[in-house]
Amino acid sequence: MSADPAQLLTVDGVTAGYGASEEILKGTSLRVAPGEIVSIIGPNGAGKSTLLKTIAGLVQARKGSIVIGGTDVTTEGALGRARHGIGFVPQERNVFGAMSVADNLEISGFQDPTQVKRRAEELYERYPMLAQKRGALARTLSGGQRQILAMAMGLMNAPSLLLLDEPTAGLSPRAAEELFEAIVALNRGGLPILMVEQHALEALEISTRGYVLVAGRNSREGPGPALATDPEIRRLFLGG
Amino acid sequence: MTLILQAVINGLMTGTLIAVPAIGFSAIFAVLRYPNFAIASYATIGAFAAWWANAILGLPVIPAIAIAFLITGCIGVGAEETALKRLRGNGALIVAIASIALNLVLENIVRFIFGNDMKGYDLPLLRDIRFGDLRIGPQQLQSLALAVVIMAVMFLFLRYTRFGKAMRAVADNPDLARLKGIDPARIAIVTVFLGAGLAGVGGVLIGLDTSIDPLTGYRVLLSVFAAAVLGGLGSIPGAVVGALALGIAEELALIVVPATYRTAVGFVAILIMLTFRPRGILGERAA
Ligand SMILES: Nc1ncnc2c1ncn2[C@@H]1O[C@H](COP(=O)(O)OP(=O)(O)O)[C@@H](O)[C@H]1O
Ligand SMILES: [Mg+2]
């Protein structure tokens, strides 16, 4: 696959799965350009989380290619992808529960210890709640607070692309809305974001583009707001 | 009453000494997820390394302990990288069994080099300190103080240093650690170095009180393992609490049962713990 310099991330025909079991991703493709918010939506079990894990290097692609910023990283593991600027906030277990908020941030900037202090201070300024809770153990945070911490941790290595897996899962509508606002604010600051969301329509509305993933294959794609008003998508995701 | 108090004091003493290798065992378990029974031979190697530094080279006890720490740390890393590492993909049980085999090999290397005889450290003979009817040996007291200092350093390391925090992160969630740019393989090496080093120091502290021979480590292996299980496998504070609890339980049991049953206390403790609270006293997750 030739690398398209206009793209930040190019996933091309990727198949992947767990252990010896059959493939979960059956030839999935997507791309993210600089400055975009891209959403992946789809039914439960479609392979959305698997796709993000494969991009982050926690699951190895069996076929196809993954190119980040012009470099083919298909064969690299999670460490290598992190070095190439991928920040991934998993859906579950995305903070170190037995460590304080401050330690969670510090440890998330492990790659570049000289920058840890400065970046943590920036994040405390951006998210004052974290500053208030900096001594609290991560497992004592509320769901919304924990998601903010997880996202802040994802920013500690100064990624060039942030992957978010269901950042609003389990949050109250208010907390979910605040988190969407935080995501949009990050993106306005120039950070491209690729996210998976259950709140499909809300996510599409703030997205540059969206992909619909069904059973490990691309189904639909298009500009976010257009997908959000598409009758077929509305029927699928507004309960029907 | 004095009998019980003396037993508790003795128990705290032996417990504190056992806690040092138990921390090593637990640290390795927490990060590498397998029980490394070769720490028995690491303790023996540490005891002999310090004996060599102390009785042959004439160094005082504390530098001898530092040498024992470095030598066993390096041997631990060497054994891990050459023998155990390649088996890690096959599950904890396989590595655990391999560590028992490794233990036999290392133990017999010590036997080959130093022989089977008991050896004693070159220490000044001091009288026991008495408080009324209670007796405490000055050497025991020094070992106790050393063990406490070593544990305090380990706690500070885990709590406040970058590598210590990275160790806790890998123990908690290796995938998340990787996403943050922490290489679990590198952290594993640091952990094995510290764990084996602590086992080595434990061997010295235990030997200082009596004498050493190629089975020094093997004799305390069950207690070390029981302490780690009691406290919750993989929990470092748990290993300390478990070791103290076990030490006291062993000494108290000796009041009513003959000394030959001492190790049975360890077995019974493991059995009771695994039956009623498999996660241990302080354990957070099931092993
Ligand atoms: N760690 C895993 N091991 C084995 N199978 C898994 C694992 N994680 C997810 N799966 C399976 O992969 C499929 C897709 O899961 P996932 O990617 O989490 O879907 P989604 O995020 O779209 O809901 C599901 O059938 C799920 O059971
Ligand atoms: Mg998912």
Q: Which atom of ligand 1 is nearest to the CA of A213?
A: 22
Give the distance (Å) from ligand 1 centre to CA of residue A18. 8
B1 membership: H or E segment, kind and range: none
Q: What is the mean pLDDT of chain B?
A: 91
**pTM score of the predicted model:** 0.90
* The pLDDT of residue B258: 87
B17 pLDDT band (50/70/90 cuts)?
very high
Q: Determine whether B262 is exposed, middle or buried from the number of CB atoms within 10 Å of its CB (0-12, 13-18, 19+).
A: middle
Q: For position B284, what pLDDT does the model report? A: 55
- Closest-CA residue, ligand 1 atom 2, reads A18
Which segments in chain A show pLDDT lower than 70?
1-5, 238-240
Q: Rounded CA gap, B287 and B25, in Å?
A: 14
Q: Does B190 touch chain A (CB under 8 A)?
A: no
Q: What is the pLDDT of residue A27?
A: 95
Nearest protein CA to atom 24 of ligand 1, as residue: A45
pLDDT above 50 (res B240): yes
User: What atom in ligand 1 is closest to the CA of residue A48?
Assistant: 22
Cα–Cα distance between B145 and B157 in angstroms, integer? 18
Residue B287, pLDDT above cutoff 60: no
Position in ligand 1 atom list of the atom nearest CA A166: 21
CA B171 to centroid of ligand 2, rounded, Å:
24
Residue B264 has pLDDT above 70, yes or no: yes
A82 has a chain B CB within 8 A of its CB: yes
Interface test with A, best of B168, B180, B282 (most A CBs within 10 A): B180
Asked if residues B22 and B224 have their Cβ atoms less than 8 Å apart, the reply is yes
Higher pLDDT, B4 or B286: B4
Measured from the alpha carbon of residue A24, the closest ligand is 1
Q: Which CATH class is domain B2-115+131-276?
A: mainly alpha
Domain residue spans of chain A: 9-238
For domain A9-238, give the fold. Rossmann fold (3.40.50)
User: Is it the case that residue B108 has pLDDT exceeding 90?
Assistant: yes
Ligand nearest the Cα atom of residue A42 = 1
A165 touching B (Cβ < 8 Å)? no
ipTM, two decimals, is 0.93
pLDDT at A167: 95
- Mean predicted confidence (pLDDT) in B216-221: 94
Of all protein residues, whose CA lies closest to atom 3 belonging to ligand 1?
A: A18
**DSSP letters spanning chain A:** ----TT-SEEEEEEEE-STTSPPSEEEEEEEE-TT-EEEEE--TTSSHHHHHHHHHTSS--SEEEEEETTEE-TT--HHHHHHTTEEEE-SSS-S-TTSBHHHHHHHHTTT-GGGHHHHHHHHHHH-HHHHHTTTSBGGGS-HHHHHHHHHHHHHTT--SEEEEESTTTT--HHHHHHHHHHHHHHHHTT--EEEE-SSHHHHHHT-SEEEEEETTEEEEEEEHHHHHH-HHHHHHHS--
Residue B271: per-residue pLDDT: 86
How close B124 comes to chain A (CA, Å)? 45
Mutation probe of ligand 1 site: the residue of A15, A22, A23, A24 with most atoms within 8 A of C-beta = A24
Q: Compute the radius of gyration of chain A from its Cα atoms.
A: 17
The answer to whether A73 and A80 have CB atoms below 8 angstroms apart is yes
pLDDT in tens, B20-61: 999 999 999 999 999 999 999 999 999 999 999 999 999 999
Search chain B and give the residue with CA nearest A157.
B180
For a substitution probing ligand 1, which of A23, A28, A41, A49 has the most ligand atoms within 8 Å of its CB? Answer: A49
